[in-house]
């Protein structure tokens, strides 16, 4: 190692720490989503009693459910892309001097990389199921608590349901951008 250079081992360790930080961010985004959704639901129930609820814009507040789901999808996508980039870097380091032929390589060997991708998809499935349930509960609550506000607004309800479905589907397509190991060039 030269005096000005950084050894590949240190780069590897630093990149793995960054991968772990991104995984933690992904879990924090899910926690934030749950908190926001629970707060929105509590707000809908808290605002219902009395005549004041007649002037509240619940038709628009209910759109916060799919909006928060879409934000969760954006955050998950950002994290997935960062992890993919970092794992590509790690695979490059694992391949230095053809080391991946002598040592097990978590990121350069497709057997390991595809296995971890399959396991990580359960986070995406859990997020999608949670988001689908949260949207259904939120929209159902508004329909149940404020039926007179949505009466005659079939287009609004249809747009809301389409937006909610699209935001949940966005969570399900994120695995398409999961890390794939490089093709072995040698």
Residue-level pLDDT at 185: 47
In a domain, 106, yes or no: no
- Report the alpha-carbon distance of residue 32 to residue 68 in Å, rounded: 9
In a domain, 16, yes or no: no
Q: What is the mean pLDDT of the chain?
A: 86
Give the domain range for residue 58: 30-81+111-177
pLDDT tens digits, 76-119? 999 999 999 999 999 999 999 888 888 888 888 888 888 888 88
In a domain, 185, yes or no: no
Length of the chain: 186
In a domain, 74, yes or no: yes
Question: What DSSP designation does 183 have?
Answer: P
In a domain, 11, yes or no: no
In a domain, 18, yes or no: no
Calculate what percentage of the chain has a pLDDT beyond 90.
Answer: 49
- Report the alpha-carbon distance of residue 12 to residue 179 in Å, rounded: 17
In a domain, 162, yes or no: yes
**Number of domains the chain contains:** 1
Contact 23, 83 (CB under 8 A): yes
pLDDT tens digits, 16-70? 999 999 999 999 999 999 999 999 988 887 776 665 556 667 777 888 999 999 9
Residue-level pLDDT at 49: 62
């Amino acid at each position: 190692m030269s005096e000005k250079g950084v050894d590949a081992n240190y780069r590897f360790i630093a990149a793995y720490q960054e991968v772990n930080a991104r995984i933690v961010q992904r879990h924090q985004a899910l926690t934030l989503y749950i908190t926001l959704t629970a707060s929105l639901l509590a707000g809908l129930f808290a605002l219902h009693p009395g005549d004041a609820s007649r002037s509240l814009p619940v038709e628009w507040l209910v759109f916060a459910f799919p909006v928060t789901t879409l934000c969760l999808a954006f955050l998950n996508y950002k994290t997935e892309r960062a992890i993919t980039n970092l794992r590509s870097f790690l695979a490059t380091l694992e391949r230095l001097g053809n080391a991946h032929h002598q040592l097990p390589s978590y990121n350069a060997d497709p057997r390991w990389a595809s296995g971890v991708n399959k396991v990580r998809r359960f986070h995406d499935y859990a997020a999608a199921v949670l988001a689908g349930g949260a949207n259904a509960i939120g929209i159902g609550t508004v329909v149940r608590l404020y039926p007179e506000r949505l009466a005659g607004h079939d287009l609004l309800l249809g747009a809301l349901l389409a937006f909610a479905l699209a935001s949940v589907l966005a969570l399900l397509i994120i695995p398409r951008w999961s890390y794939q190991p490089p093709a072995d060039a040698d």
